[in-house]
Amino acid sequence: MAAPKSCSSRSTSLRDASDCGSPKMEGTDSWDALEWTKIESIPRYVSLSNFEFLLEEEQVVAEGHGVVLVNTDEAGSLIVTNFRLLFLSEGTRNVIALGTIPLATIEKFNKIVVKVQSNTRQLDKTPPRRLLQVIGKDMRIIVFGFRPRTKQRRVIFDALLRCTKPARLWDLYAFLPGLSKFSNTNPKVRLLGEYFRMLGKSSYHVSMYMIERGSFTLSNDLWRISRVNSNYTMCQSYPFALIIPKSISDNEVLQASSFRARGRLPVVSWCHPGTGAVLARSSQPLVGMMNMRSNTDEKLVAALCGKLEDGSRRKLYIADARPRKNALANGAMGGGSESSSNYFQSEVVFFGIDNIHAMRDSFARLREYLDTHGRTSSDGMSSFLRHGGWTWGGGNLSSMSASVLTLGDSGWLLHIHSVLAGSAWIAARVAMETACVLVHCSDGWDRTSQLVSLANLLLDPYYRTIAGFQALVEKDWLAFGHPFSDRVGMPSVCSSGYELPRQSSTGSFPSSPMRQSSGTFTSQTPTSSHGQTSNHYSPIFLQWIDCVSQLLRMYPSAFEFSSAFLVDFLDCVLSCRFGNFLCNSEKERQQYNVFEACGCMWPYLADLRASEGVSHVHYNVFYEPSKYNGPLLPPAAALAPTLWPQFHLRWACPLEAQAGEIEAHCRKMALKNSEMHKAKELAERNAKEITIAMESLSVEFQNEKQLGSSARNMAKRTSKENMAIKRAIQSLGYKVHFPGSGDCVVDIESNPVGPLQNFIYASSKKDSDGSEHDKRQDLCNSATTMEGDNVFSRVCENLCPYRARDGGCRWPNAGCAQLRSQFVGLRANFDAIDQLSINDSYFKSE
């Protein structure tokens, strides 16, 4: 929200204008006297159609410049696109949230003329202020002021008139092709999945093939899924599949449907998996003034009740959401309510919840109250210390009590309390008495949907998760035919084609008493007020979301989702950006393939959450599922409702709407804790990797150590053998040389008798067949001698322990040499010597 401007700003309030010498307006409780002459001339702007703030497939339709947002006295540009009304700040070109609203969220918009009254005689020369008032379904009233003597207001107004009332349903922004990227499965598949969960058949896989074949009619001991309404012929506002008692046939279902308004017969909405207690819903019975009866209807209701474990029949409560007088009045028109005497062991209870018209009027009064007494009022006057003045609620301090009375007069909180109390009563009967409760109103799609879905939320912890909340909305609101197009004011489908419901009256939005008394502004003609809503418009679904927020306030640890999730969810519903809540029934959405042509809201919200994980604002940081794993049964004293700050106050009192400072602080702490947990996991993973690497290195080190030890032992052994050979050879008077090549050269020096002879012995022999066989080709033993005596006999005489006493050799034909004795072959390869198998007795110990 922009801060209040000083006198030098482009627009000033009444009090600032007075201080700066501008003419005063009669009455201090009226529109600000905007100093239009202080607004500089605006040059021709470049088209904003390619700016980054535009969504996918969003296109600019009309633009207006030099426009003032009266709520905050901020100047900027006003743009109409095919999806929303955008207000951009003049200086920064940032999107101002207060002045930006989706077209489908606009309830009505009016042209207003403000005539400045002055004590001077130049009143005729002062141009009137031309304003555009936009009233939203999301609790805001915003006013734009346009420069005098321009046609910008007319351009914006005509563009809004065209874009907010398309001639065809598929002209809506939701049907543009680029938005279908947020696709999802067919709603029928998701509904059957929830049915299977309720019946304990979650192991079955649901597919469109199963639905097309009609093989989804599963059952348990008490209930079964019927496809009697698969073509929507029995009831056009009921889903294609229904859960009914197992003992009731489809023919009996068809007969019972004729006794209920619009064919909405009693069916199961929720059943307790342990006790068998059931929560059922229907429309009013057609008893009329004659108190008619239906045997099949009574049989169906009796089958819903079932029996207890001891064989006795379960208690039946028939919860009529209407006041008793309204039920009696409907009896004159063929409707009415059940008689407890016609239904065995039953009790009829009237909750006294008002109809859709009372809810619509109450919502309008609440919106007017918040705008009048808010910080950013649409008349430019803040309720508290506006520009340093001493006002509160547009008047003096005595208006504080009057404003409280005004809030009570709106009746909104009283209606919220009635819905909460009725739902808590229903949940208590099912959970504590294991009773059967049948809920209905007139048609069974407004107050019935509120009570049944809220009781589901109290009874089943699954519905308090994000996935369960989606299943609950799709089951009890979308599948069971809440008329969203009529109640939210969206385009509807009728038998003759597509049309938008028109508003029955063209009167402008009623002003507060404070504004009516000032008399300083007047509306133009009655045709200047245009609205999207019809007489069937009513914030029934918004009221239910408000009730959910009250439960979230009472039980902050029982819900997986947060209040921010509810606000974003409700904004998606009101904006018509996705196709989930178009049309009035499942039949219409299936008939016109809305789920294929439009994007789906659920993947969009899931995509938002996936960007930040569990730290996203949609998740409740206080959620403790183990603590609240059963039903919630709030006592009557805890059901006193309050305003929902995040939704009711976000436009009128934006600072006060951000009251969840503790939640924000806890969210930051949770985020830091999550980051520390991730860092801890990363450190543990790195430590584990380091430990494994160290163990691997330790094993390698041990292997290397063993190899080194073996090499040292081998070297010692080789050295020992070399020394023994050297001593043995030297004892014969030979010289031994060990060159680096590994060969051993032995020079035999003795008394030379004859000429020098070279003797080369090759270790080879002739086989018996005459072929030569080389036992080791890599070993060549050679000796060079300088004497004529037989070298072999001299060696044998001195060293060989196996020589016979008679001097004979035990190795005929020099067999010892053929066995590679290191004493024969005086030029030996020591790589081969390591492989010799000569008895250790050849070597003497030192």
| Residues that are catalytic | 441
Token pair in block for residue 673: 């804790």
Helix (H, G, I), strand (E, B) or coil at 821: coil
Residues 6+ apart with CB under 8 A from 534: 486, 489, 501, 502, 503, 504
Q: Which amino acid is at 382?
A: S
User: What gap in Å lies between CA 285 and CA 841, rounded to an integer?
Assistant: 120
Q: Which amino acid is at 439?
A: V
User: What gap in Å lies between CA 519 and CA 89, rounded to an integer?
Assistant: 31
Q: Which position has the token pair 């809004």? A: 160
Helix (H) or strand (E) holding 576: none
Strand partners, 255: none
With beta carbons less than 8 A apart as the criterion, state whether 532 and 106 touch.
yes
With beta carbons less than 8 A apart as the criterion, state whether 574 and 137 touch.
yes
Q: Interior CA angle at 565 toward 559 and 566, to 5°?
A: 85
Token pair in block for residue 339: 């008689």
Q: Which position has the token pair 């199963």? A: 210
With beta carbons less than 8 A apart as the criterion, state whether 171 and 153 touch.
no
Q: Which amino acid is at 533?
A: T
Q: What are phi and psi of 576, to 5 degrees?
A: 60, 25
Strand partners, 242: 226
| Residue in 98, 29, 76, 87 with CA at minimum distance from that of residue 657 | 98
User: What gap in Å lies between CA 69 and CA 79, rounded to an integer?
Assistant: 13
With beta carbons less than 8 A apart as the criterion, state whether 291 and 343 touch.
no
Helix (H) or strand (E) holding 820: none
With beta carbons less than 8 A apart as the criterion, state whether 328 and 372 touch.
no
User: What gap in Å lies between CA 702 and CA 551, rounded to an integer?
Assistant: 67
Measured distance between the N- and C-terminal CA atoms of the chain, rounded to whole angstroms: 104
Strand partners, 551: none
Q: At what angle do helices 540-554 and 563-575 cross, to 10 degrees?
A: 170
DSSP 382-416: -SB-GGG---BTTB-TTHHHHHHHHHHHH-HHHHH
Beta strands in 674-780 (DSSP E): 734-737, 743-748, 757-759, 765-766, 772-773
DSSP letter assigned to residue 232: S
Distance of CA 130 to the CA centre of its chain: 44
Residues 6+ apart with CB under 8 A from 207: 189
Helix (H) or strand (E) holding 40: none
User: What gap in Å lies between CA 271 and CA 199, rounded to an integer?
Assistant: 8
Helix (H) or strand (E) holding 761: none
| Residue in 315, 536, 336, 541 with CA at minimum distance from that of residue 419 | 541
Q: Interior CA angle at 344 toward 341 and 348, to 5°?
A: 60
| Residue in 609, 360, 266 with CA at minimum distance from that of residue 470 | 609
User: What gap in Å lies between CA 425 and CA 435, rounded to an integer?
Assistant: 12
With beta carbons less than 8 A apart as the criterion, state whether 372 and 517 touch.
no
Length of the chain: 846
